[in-house]
Structure 1
Amino acid sequence: MSKEQIVIKVDNLRKSYGAFEAVKGISFSVKKGELFAFLGTNGAGKSTTIDILCTLAKKNTGDIYIDGYKHGDIKGNNNIREKIGVVFQESVLDERLTVYENILNRGQYYNLSKEQIQDNYQFVSEYLKLDDIKDKKYGALSGGQRRRSDIARAIIHKPTILFLDEPTTGLDPQTRLFVWEAIKRLQEETNMTIFLTTHYMEEAAVADNVVVIKEGHIVAEGTPDQLKDKYAFDSLHLVFKNTFSSKQWFKERKISYTFKNSIYTLRLATTIDAYDILKKLENQIESFEVIKGSMDDVFINIIEEKEVIVL
């Protein structure tokens, strides 16, 4: 199975709750082995879409195929459940059981033999570093330890696709980094497809592809670089010497800028364009900083429907 093979195909998906249409005819696809980021604000239709893909909710209309299986009927949904792992925002593990007991119990849902479960446990334990918490009751774990256990539970059957619904929300920076490194290792070393939702744009920035949903519609999609080219901009921050007539200099050259707290901000078409400006002003500058356009800019500009104009 090549990386170019489509493992999730969604065509014209719609979902309503009474008169309210939460998902309004969205279509997208996810390739085998890629890290796919699905972004949207609360109420955008993101969670509804994920619940449908994971067979937890029924669609109204539309076609969905996951790892070759058609979504919607009993047989298709059962096959899909065998192929996916899901890490929810809220844990589904038993707080009275140890980490080891929880994960082994989960393996039994997939009709794995005792030998397969033990082999798979070693697999998940190596990726999530479970040795130090193996015999601790789940209810006594810290937030980061719980998240490691949650991911281990979701991959005990070595799924083709792993759904992660905001997996690092609420974790401290060190634990977030550990969890993220484990996720990336899984993707890169096992070719597992990762379907991610996140509120951290630096995580979306390393995705292979990104889809942004707003009010039930897909409003943007592409690689992080493609989205930054379209919806973000690089900028140059300048602080001048008091003796320099900066506003007059910009006016004479018809260069637009914004000014706040003694800082002039210029939007750039490309980062390298800052060089020419700095060269011309090198004797008049107290300090400068070049700021790269980020996924935060992308998300804000898409959601707020701001037009990005390079000045």
Structure 2
Amino acid sequence: MSTQGPELEESLGSLQIGEDDEESEDSSDEGSEDSSDEEAKLPDSPWRGLYYGDDIKRMISHTLKGWCSHDPKPKIYIVTPFIDEEGLKMVKRAIGSHQMALYTREEQKQYNKIIKLKTIMTGIVSRENFAQLRVGIHEIEDQKHYYHCKFVAAEFPDRVEILMTSANLTSTHFMREQIDSVQQYDVTPEDFEEIYLQKLKKHSHDYEWASTETASGEDKREQQKKRAPYAPTRQGECYSCGEHGHYVKECPKADCNRGGEKVQLENQQNGAPPSPQQSRMPYRSYQNRMPSRAPLNWRPSQGPVLNRHTVGRWPPPNHSDQKVGPSQPTKPGAVPARVP
């Protein structure tokens, strides 16, 4: 009894070990099948021609992972005028902690909106992820030349491998409906420096990291709440302070609401001439001015006395050949008698 017990346990243990081995083999086979499926999704090499956007995304990601697996690792170059969050995440997942040299534009245009490069990089990459970051100007009118090339490259000691494409590293170019060109080739390090990098350096500059950092102890919202310094934008003259470039309503002084009247009163008391804006129109006295609406008791040199029926009519009709008698009460509809 005692001898059969251990033998039976050993046989059962061997059976369990065999089952575990079979399960591990099955799992390894499944993993190999998954990896083979991923490799099958890639187009056949050599890569030369037109490909769909989702295939190009996998081609770039696979190429970057292969370059970073070398020892020693090469210097990775990412050159594209437009890049968004999806393209930057794809590059970050492919290269991991390896540094890269990125050439792109400082302002990105997405869905008819201008977005800063800092906004795209926030939460994805940091300054430590870049061996070099050079940016170009978004506005074409501000520079003589601009670059619109897109490629990824790896600089080895004896060669430089380049994957050239016409697709931007954006989600719109990684769609299935988008078709772009791809070509893979090698050049020497000397040719890569002379033909590629020197031209890119002429039309780009180092990214200013300090300009993207907020002041110490201040949040970005607090900076936006601060009033910007006054900048005159007009050619007029303020009669409140006498300065050019703004009007009295835009006067930066504290007493701008009543400053005009205050200054005019001080000028009159000191005997100073009126301001240029006040002296543009000729001065007219009360006696010489023509009223816009005559009062009821006002009578011109000629003509009848104005009543409520003739107020506002100017000039009044000329009835110098007729005499108007005193007003008498008349019946409704009756014509008043005239004095001969």
Shorter-chain TM-score: which interval?
under 0.3
If asked which structure has higher relative contact order (CA below 8 Å, sep 6+), I would say 1
Larger strand share, 1 or 2: 1
TM-score with structure 1 setting the length: 0.26
Higher Cα radius of gyration: 2
